[in-house]
Amino acid sequence: MHRFTIGVEEEYQIIDAETRDLVSHVSKIIEGGKTLLSENLKHEMHESVVEMETGICQNVKEAREELTNLRRHLVKVAHEQGLRVSGGGTHPFSHWKNNVITKDARYDKLVNDMGDVARSNLIFGLHVHIGIPDREEGIRIQNVMRYFLPHVYALSTNSPFWVGRLTGFKSYRQEVFAKFPRTGIPSYFSSVAEFDAYVNLMIKTGTIDNAKKIWWDLRVHPFYPTIEFRICDMPLTIDETVCMAAIMQCLVAKIYKMHQQNISFRSYRRLMISENKWRASKDGIHANLIDFGKETSVPYSDLLDELLLFIDDVVDELDCRQEVEYSREILKMGTGADRQLQVFNESGGDLKAVVDYMIFETEKNVI
């Protein structure tokens, strides 16, 4: 089989150690970590966000080791600056209008083009790159993979609060990001040529200046030989991040294996898959998702069982059974959103207690 390499990008919240609010101190983090993390830390649009990325990992075990080491250094740097870092798709109470936009020509253009839609996009995601054999195969994989995006997304839901409000969603992050153009479940493309024609038309008409401004939940990357998953909220723990990455790697490998064996997978329309995404966004692993084959709604756990059975024949080849099976542990303990809400309820609605919990979970097993 093709070697399905893994690259992980995590977006962390930068939090004041006293107020538990977001603070625009990414420069302090990057300056403090330049000795050990200079190649791994990046600015994002808001200065209260720091992106940490791994190198190209050959397998899930390597990804776990690198993520653990990087997070350990990041947490240490933050503490030295009187700061904390945390996972989570949104901050429970910080308001986007109080967070500074990073000075950069790219972000200046986004704000000029989209105004408060861009300014309010104070969200934190997990992006995972899986290596693909070539772009043509990548498009074929993307077409099939769309069906499974809500299944993976539900496990990652981790943003139940927005600017101090209990939103009623397990992942409000996606509802914030939906205000951007060119987001959501990608359309079906019959070939790379059709996809490239779409991109070229967008560039020719001045809609975008390059394909990186296509922000779908899944995309064949415009510059790297990868398919990039962009749908997930930023998890709290490394175990959760690694679980998502393992499932994504297995899905890519399984779909590729099917194509090599001339086995097809039924294609579903974007509007149908988007219904399942909405349900996952609202209720996470407690949602009833649509089983399109049976034309009925079923508990999420049933579809997770089907997903795990679907990828079972590649799990051992990729040596990630333990990491994939951790998804069942997430079902038992709840997603990050479920656990945030439990702390919120048990603390009598104390959002600072929720932030404390998020920090604790982020630092767990790394300091």
Domains of the chain and any CATH numbers: 6-363 (3.30.590.20)
213 backbone dihedrals φ, ψ, rounded to 5°: -90, 20
Where residue 265 falls among pLDDT bands split at 50, 70, 90? Answer: confident
pLDDT (average), residues 87-113: 93
Gap between the Cα atoms of 271 and 275, Å rounded: 7
pLDDT digits (tens, 9 = 90+) for 51-79: 999 999 999 999 999 999 999 999 999 99
Residues pairing with 290 in the sheet: 297
Q: Treating both helix axes as pointing N-terminal to C-terminal, what angle do 270-283 and 149-156 enclose, rounded to 10 degrees? A: 10
Q: Is the pTM of this model over 0.85?
A: yes
Q: Output the pLDDT for position 68.
A: 97
* The token pair that represents 117 in the structure block: 């839609």
Where residue 264 falls among pLDDT bands split at 50, 70, 90? Answer: confident
Q: Output the pLDDT for position 125.
A: 98
Gap between the Cα atoms of 366 and 139, Å rounded: 37
Q: β-strands 161-162, 125-131: how paired?
A: unpaired
pLDDT (average), residues 264-290: 94
Average pLDDT, rounded, for the chain = 95
Q: Treating both helix axes as pointing N-terminal to C-terminal, what angle do 351-363 and 60-80 enclose, rounded to 10 degrees? A: 130
pLDDT digits (tens, 9 = 90+) for 122-145: 999 999 999 999 999 999 999 999
Q: Output the pLDDT for position 1.
A: 58
- Asked if pLDDT for residue 35 goes beyond 90, the answer is no
pLDDT (average), residues 282-296: 95
E strands, the chain, in order: 6-16, 41-43, 49-53, 83-86, 125-131, 161-162, 165-166, 183-184, 215-216, 218-220, 226-233, 288-291, 296-299
Q: Which residue type occupies 242? A: V
Where residue 367 falls among pLDDT bands split at 50, 70, 90? Answer: confident
Where residue 106 falls among pLDDT bands split at 50, 70, 90? Answer: confident
Q: What is the H or E stretch that residue 97 is in?
A: none
Q: Output the pLDDT for position 245.
A: 98
pLDDT (average), residues 214-230: 94
Where residue 34 falls among pLDDT bands split at 50, 70, 90? Answer: confident
Q: Output the pLDDT for position 300.
A: 97
Q: Output the pLDDT for position 365.
A: 84
Gap between the Cα atoms of 298 and 290, Å rounded: 6
